[in-house]
């Protein structure tokens, strides 16, 4: 294995670009070096000055050609992780399956990866064909062939302002088509998450799925069960916060991929009230992403799973369980089911439960309870959740309107808005009046 790796590491005598690739000039791709972040340019320049090849690669190149500002930049090079690390003071090597280097340039973090070799009989895979370890370096052409879609196999050289295109990705991008590199069934077996990526990218870029790419998805969707929960959760976050979550969800359903991703999500979407609630939440999230506003994974997952909690809670109350303890039991049960497939972090799970637990408290509008609720850190998220419930028709809008007015009112107006407490008042135990100390009585008793 070591001999094989050494044989593959960076043949310095090979030409910079394979004859099988296309060198696309600036006039055709339209990416000026000024469009690329300064950190990505500096990283490529440093590597090139040291005698290595270095390109901005993948999604950043794809997005720039499509007229979308990239969120981050990846760099591909023929330098080993150790060689990259030696060139940048602010850098660190990370990863097990395939080592990469994080290079910090000002406020940017660039992900620098070494060209990877093609898979062969020695590549470690599980029983389903999913690649488990992938630390063999290779040539630039092999690296391009290893990437999932043609639109992701693009290499931009900021020094020459050229794009190296091995698989006609620029043409596919112009023709609004998403194509797989290699045989789709084999590529899905290597990494089932590619099915999710296909949905996310097609929705984001407005691309039609190539028939050869789309055909196997429905029949191979069960391979998702073999994906580690943490990785699936990360991919779901990317999809839900892509700014195109509504379209992604529609495409997930069209291709039969929503079953099992969020366990019970298919059940939620079959409930008219639940589907309206979820769609309103996703549309709001899309609008915030597109406007550059912050988004909360806890809030979004709370909306996706709320109707499962609600159904579970109602069932428990019907069995005679006390309301608030029953709510907490329902919350734990639903999240436990999710944990079997999605590795929701403790912090996010805590945020989800905080939002759910606040909902019954909005019904208390008497005494000091509304004032205490306003002071809670999660009040705003809980209130937004309440408004969403009202807009979906789950509860009367009067309650949400009252809380909107109450939080914006002055102290005098707030006092007037409080609803009289019509519930049974607790009877206070009357304290017995203590008799004054009588020394004589004490003496008499002793006698």
The DSSP result for 316-374, as a single string, is HHHTT--HHHHHHHHHHHHHHHHHTT----HHHHHHHHHHHHHGGGGG--STTHHHHHH
What six digits make up the tokens of 120? 């062969």
Q: Note whether 294 and 165 are same-domain residues.
A: no
Instruction: Find the catalytic residue in 72, 126, 396, 401.
Output: 72
Helix/strand/coil for 294: coil
* Domain final position from 154, 177, 200: 177
Residue 188, domain member (yes or no): no
Q: Where are the beta strands (DSSP E) in 20-148?
A: 22-24, 54-57, 74-77, 91-94, 100-105, 108-114
Residues of the chain predicted below pLDDT 50: 1-16, 19, 437-447
Half-sphere exposure (Cβ direction) of 69: Cα atoms closer than 13 Å:
4
- What is the rounded CA–CA span in Å between residue 255 and residue 293? 30
Please state the pTM of the whole predicted model: 0.75
Residue 435, domain member (yes or no): no
pLDDT, tens only, 17-31: 554 568 999 999 999
Q: Note whether 155 and 295 are same-domain residues.
A: no
How many domains does the chain divide into? Answer: 2
What pLDDT score was predicted for residue 446? 41
Residue 431, domain member (yes or no): no
CB-CB neighbours of 18 under 10 Å: 14
What pLDDT score was predicted for residue 439? 45
What pLDDT score was predicted for residue 37? 96
Residue 26, domain member (yes or no): yes
Residue 202, domain member (yes or no): no
Q: Where are the beta strands (DSSP E) in 138-278?
A: 154-157, 162-165, 177-178, 208-209
CA distances from 402 to 123, 375, 394, 409 (A): 62, 17, 16, 10
Give residue for tokens 């992900």: 111
Q: Reply yes or no on whether 401 is catalytic.
A: no
Q: Note whether 166 and 264 are same-domain residues.
A: no
Residue 333, domain member (yes or no): yes
What pLDDT score was predicted for residue 361? 97
Instruction: Find the catalytic residue in 78, 134, 143, 148.
Output: 148
Angle between helices 379-391 and 272-290 (to 10 degrees): 130
Q: Which of 169, 96, 167 is nearest to 131 (CA)?
A: 96
Convert 291-316 to b/e letters by CB count within 10 Å (16 or more is b): eeeeebbbbbbbbbbbbbbbbbbeeb
Give residue for tokens 């997952």: 301
* Domain final position from 177, 205, 224: 177
Query: Residue 401 is part of a domain; what is its CATH number?
Result: 1.10.3090.10
Q: Note whether 305 and 159 are same-domain residues.
A: no
Contact criterion met (CB below 8 Å) for 303 and 385:
yes
Instruction: Find the catalytic residue in 74, 210, 255, 351.
Output: 74
Q: Reply yes or no on whether 143 is catalytic.
A: no
- What is the rounded CA–CA span in Å between residue 254 and residue 120? 34
Query: Residue 172 is part of a domain; what is its CATH number?
Result: 3.30.460.10
- What is the rounded CA–CA span in Å between residue 220 and residue 382? 39
Contact criterion met (CB below 8 Å) for 348 and 302:
no
What six digits make up the tokens of 246? 């509504």
What domain range is 143 assigned to?
Answer: 1-177
End-to-end CA distance of the chain: 103
pLDDT, tens only, 72-127: 999 999 999 999 999 999 999 998 767 899 999 999 999 999 999 876 555 555 55
- What is the rounded CA–CA span in Å between residue 363 and residue 400? 10
Contact criterion met (CB below 8 Å) for 27 and 33:
no
What six digits make up the tokens of 437? 């100390």
Rg over CA atoms, the chain: 30
Q: Reply yes or no on whether 234 is catalytic.
A: no
The residues that bridge with 24 in the sheet, in sequence order, are 163
* Domain final position from 125, 149, 177: 177
Residue 315, domain member (yes or no): yes
Q: Note whether 265 and 164 are same-domain residues.
A: no
What pLDDT score was predicted for residue 332? 95
Residue 309, domain member (yes or no): yes
């Amino acid at each position: 294995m070591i001999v094989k790796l050494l044989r593959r590491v960076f043949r310095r005598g090979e030409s910079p670009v394979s004859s099988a690739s296309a060198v696309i000039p600036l006039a055709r791709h339209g990416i000026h070096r000024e469009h690329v972040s300064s950190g990505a340019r500096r990283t490529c320049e440093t590597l090139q000055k040291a005698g290595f090849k270095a390109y901005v690669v993948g999604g950043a190149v794809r997005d720039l050609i499509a007229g979308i500002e990239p969120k981050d930049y990846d760099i591909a090079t023929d330098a080993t992780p150790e060689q990259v690390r030696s060139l940048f003071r602010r850098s660190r090597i990370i990863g097990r399956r395939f080592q990469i280097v994080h290079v910090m340039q000002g406020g940017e973090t660039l992900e620098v990866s070494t060209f990877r070799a093609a898979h062969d009989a020695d590549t470690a895979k599980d029983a389903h064909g999913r690649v488990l370890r992938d630390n063999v370096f290779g040539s630039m052409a092999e690296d391009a062939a290893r990437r999932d879609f043609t639109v992701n196999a693009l290499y931009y050289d900021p020094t020459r302002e050229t794009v190296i295109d091995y698989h006609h990705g620029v043409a596919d991008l112009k023709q609004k088509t998403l194509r797989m590199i290699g045989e789709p069934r084999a590529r899905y077996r290597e990494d089932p998450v590619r099915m999710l990526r296909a949905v996310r990218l097609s929705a984001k870029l407005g691309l039609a799925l190539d028939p050869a790419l789309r055909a196997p998805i429905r029949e191979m969707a069960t391979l998702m069960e073999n994906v580690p929960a943490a990785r699936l959760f990360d991919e779901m976050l990317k999809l839900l916060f892509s700014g195109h979550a509504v379209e992604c969800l529609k495409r997930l359903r069209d291709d039969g991929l929503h079953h099992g991703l969020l366990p019970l999500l298919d059940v939620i979407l079959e409930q008219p009230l639940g589907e309206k609630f979820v769609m309103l939440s996703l549309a709001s999230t899309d609008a915030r992403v597109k406007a550059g506003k912050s988004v909360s994974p806890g809030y979004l997952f709370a909306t996706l799973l709320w109707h499962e909690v609600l159904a579970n809670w109602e069932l428990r109350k019907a069995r005679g369980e006390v309301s608030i303890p029953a709510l907490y039991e329902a919350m734990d049960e639903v999240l436990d089911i999710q944990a079997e497939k999605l590795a929701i972090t403790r912090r996010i799970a805590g945020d989800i439960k905080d939002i759910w637990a606040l909902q019954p408290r909005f019904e208390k509008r008497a005494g000091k309870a509304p004032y205490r609720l306003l002071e809670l850190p999660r009040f705003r998220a809980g209130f937004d959740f309440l408004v969403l419930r009202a807009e979906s028709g789950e509860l009367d809008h009067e309650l949400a309107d009252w809380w909107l007015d109450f939080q914006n009112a002055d102290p005098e107006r707030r006092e007037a808005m409080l609803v009289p407490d019509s519930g049974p008042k607790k009877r206070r135990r009357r304290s017995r009046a203590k008799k004054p100390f009588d020394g004589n009585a004490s003496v008499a008793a002793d006698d």
